[in-house]
Amino acid sequence: MIDRRASGILLHPTSLPGPYGIGDLGPAAVKWLDWLAASGCRYWQMLPSGPTGYGDSPYQCFSAYAGNPMLISPDLLIEDGLIDTPDHPEFPDDRVDYGAVIPWKSAVLDAAFDCFRTAPAPDLYRAHAAFREQHRAWLEDYALFMAIKEDRGGGPWWEWPDELRMADEKAVAVAAARLGLEVERQMFRQFLFFRQWDRLRRAASQRGIEIIGDIPIFVAPDSVDVWADPHLFHLDDRRRPTVVAGVPPDYFSENGQLWGNPLYDWAAHAADGYAWWIERIRHTVAMVDVVRIDHFRGFVDYWAIPAGSPTAAKGRWMDGPGRALFDAIETALGDLPIIAEDLGELHAAVPVLRDELGLPGMKILQFAYDGDPKNDFLPARYPENCLVYTGTHDNDTVLGWYRSVPPAERIRARRALRACGPATTIPHRMIEEAWRSRAIVAITTLQDVLSLGTGARMNIPSTPSGNWRWRFGEDDLTDRTAGWLRKLNRKTGRG
């Protein structure tokens, strides 16, 4: 639970360094935990950890339950005796080249699976069997979905033959029998992911670090969640979305953000006591210590865009489930450590629901310097029960933001942050401002700790490609920077 002043850093595991082209759950992650503990921070915040689809976005995953196989560490596979040290291409150090990484990592995972099948170690065999039994409720559907997808050349499920697209029972059974080995391969990848995840979670706990996970409110259209449970979404009789998710024009985009996710049929969810959501939350809180729910306002009302619209500019607001969903979750699971992402233009009922539930919301310091004395992002206006961020994955880095805003905003920011040095000092001044605030938790990105510019930005909303690529270098985590953060944590009562 969030029960005392603390701090943390937002960093997705893909951004960790290492020779294999993408950050993973192996030794570099443990080294990162050591540095984070030395800095006096309590929280490691991540983005969603599911298997990514379109645009490599962690907010567009093939499953709300599965883990991303690209995060599996080859080094830990070597320790398990599943592979020899693999040859690998000369991947770039500063970014993820998904086009090169995905086929290479997939071949490594296939080699590990072949070893497991032909010469399974008894302890791995028992652990694998226990994992399959524990996660049976979602694992078999996911593995079959992915096996069919790969068999169909990776195309989305709505392009499959009609009997598979409609999940005809007989056709699905035939596919499961024909693709049995591929189904086993997919389940084995999930076993590896969760085996390594559990190891990393224990390492974090041993160092006093808690993990903040992230649940996107919506699921991806090309996901097993929609394919296996179409009755829970607004689809037509051909299982195509009738309306899709997004947000109207806002700070980030003049045309809004067209996410394209199918929208929930909340009446169908209510009819079975919100069982799907309860199980989704149960699964996530078993993996992490605190859960951030992205786009919390969607539980009050959400922007419904007619399917096929070119932008998110035209749509209508529809009512969400409100408190009924959270009452059902609390009845089933108890009081949970949840963060409400409550950014953007909000219906008046959103903060009311957030406060009734006692959930902390979010504040972004980059939004504080527009000159409006009633701006709720000004630190003087923060309630204690909130998290303050210098910026999130959707923002530019602080240095990039500072260099891009109008001169008047830069002047206001300098005055508020008491900054008198060059632009490169602004990120640390903003971190200090966040840490001094009343917010119970202060979070910054590693990019801002390292005072990096726009080139290190993680995501530009509404751009379909080129995101989620940034990685830091082996030598970027210094004792000096950890010491600065540790001193700041102690000075501001967050250590």
- Name 228's Cβ contacts closer than 8 Å, sequence gap at least 6: 141, 145, 167
Q: What per-residue confidence (pLDDT) applies to 360?
A: 98
Bridge pairing between strands 257-262 and 316-319:
unpaired
DSSP annotation of 15 reads: G
Reported as a pLDDT band with limits 50, 70 and 90, residue 461 is confident
394 is catalytic: yes
- Over residues 129-148, the mean pLDDT reads 98
The CA-based dihedral angle spanning residues 456, 476, 53, 213, taken in that order and rounded to the nearest 10 degrees: -100
Q: What per-residue confidence (pLDDT) applies to 253?
A: 76
Average pLDDT, the chain: 96
Task: Tell whether the model's pLDDT for residue 197 goes beyond 70.
Answer: yes
pLDDT in tens, 207-218: 999 999 999 999
Please state, in angstroms and rounded to a whole number, the distance separating the CA atoms of residues 362 and 462: 21
Q: Could you give phi then psi for residue 258, rounded to 5 degrees?
A: -95, 95
Contact 96, 468 (CB under 8 A): yes
151 is catalytic: no
Question: Which of 444, 443, 445 is closest to 456 using CA atoms?
Answer: 445
Please state, in angstroms and rounded to a whole number, the distance separating the CA atoms of residues 454 and 342: 25
Contact 311, 258 (CB under 8 A): yes
Please indicate, yes or no, if residue 111 is contained in any of the structural domains. yes
Q: Which of 294, 432, 433, 448 is catalytic?
A: 294
Structural domain including 187 reads 6-491
Structure tokens, 219: 């699921």
* Least confident residue range of 118-122, 181-185, 355-359, 371-375: 118-122
C-alpha distances out from residue 113 to 118, 164, 186, 363, Å: 9, 27, 9, 45
294 is catalytic: yes
Q: What per-residue confidence (pLDDT) applies to 367?
A: 97
Number of structural domains (the chain) is 1
Structure tokens, 248: 């109207």
Q: What per-residue confidence (pLDDT) applies to 347?
A: 86
Please state, in angstroms and rounded to a whole number, the distance separating the CA atoms of residues 317 and 29: 42
Q: Which of 214, 394, 432, 448 is catalytic?
A: 394
pLDDT in tens, 259-308: 899 999 999 999 999 999 999 999 999 999 999 999 999 999 999 999 99
pLDDT in tens, 144-171: 999 999 999 999 999 999 999 999 999 9
Question: With pLDDT > 90 as the criterion, what percentage of the chain qualifies?
Answer: 94
Please state, in angstroms and rounded to a whole number, the distance separating the CA atoms of residues 173 and 407: 64
Q: Which of 56, 210, 289, 341 is catalytic?
A: 341
Please indicate, yes or no, if residue 1 is contained in any of the structural domains. no
**What is the C-alpha end-to-end distance of the chain, expressed in Å?**
17
- Over residues 387-396, the mean pLDDT reads 98
Q: What per-residue confidence (pLDDT) applies to 72?
A: 99
Q: What per-residue confidence (pLDDT) applies to 464?
A: 83
> Which carries the bigger pLDDT value, residue 250 or residue 384?
384
Structure tokens, 87: 């040859």
pTM of the model: 0.96
Q: What per-residue confidence (pLDDT) applies to 225?
A: 98
- Over residues 344-357, the mean pLDDT reads 92
Please state, in angstroms and rounded to a whole number, the distance separating the CA atoms of residues 311 and 276: 30
Please indicate, yes or no, if residue 160 is contained in any of the structural domains. yes
Task: Tell whether the model's pLDDT for residue 344 goes beyond 70.
Answer: yes
Task: Tell whether the model's pLDDT for residue 79 goes beyond 70.
Answer: yes
Q: What per-residue confidence (pLDDT) applies to 252?
A: 63
Task: Tell whether the model's pLDDT for residue 27 goes beyond 90.
Answer: yes
Q: Report helix, strand or coil for 93.
A: coil
* Burial label, 90 (beta-carbon count in 10 A; 0-12, 13-18, 19+): exposed
* Burial label, 228 (beta-carbon count in 10 A; 0-12, 13-18, 19+): middle
Please state, in angstroms and rounded to a whole number, the distance separating the CA atoms of residues 171 and 292: 38
Produce one character per residue of 161-196: b if its CB has 16 or more CB atoms within 10 Å, e if not. eeebbbbeeebbeebbeebeebbbbbbbbbbbbbbb
* Least confident residue range of 27-36, 255-264, 383-392: 255-264
Q: What per-residue confidence (pLDDT) applies to 346?
A: 83
Reported as a pLDDT band with limits 50, 70 and 90, residue 54 is confident
The H-or-E segment that residue 199 falls in is helix 180-206
- Over residues 41-58, the mean pLDDT reads 96
Please indicate, yes or no, if residue 349 is contained in any of the structural domains. yes
Please state, in angstroms and rounded to a whole number, the distance separating the CA atoms of residues 448 and 491: 20
Q: What per-residue confidence (pLDDT) applies to 462?
A: 77
- Listing DSSP states for 286-351 in one string gives HH-SEEEEETGGGGTEEEEEETT-SSSSS-EEEE--THHHHHHHHHHH-S--EEE---SS--THHH
Please indicate, yes or no, if residue 192 is contained in any of the structural domains. yes
| CATH (domain of 411) | 3.20.20.80
Please state, in angstroms and rounded to a whole number, the distance separating the CA atoms of residues 235 and 230: 7
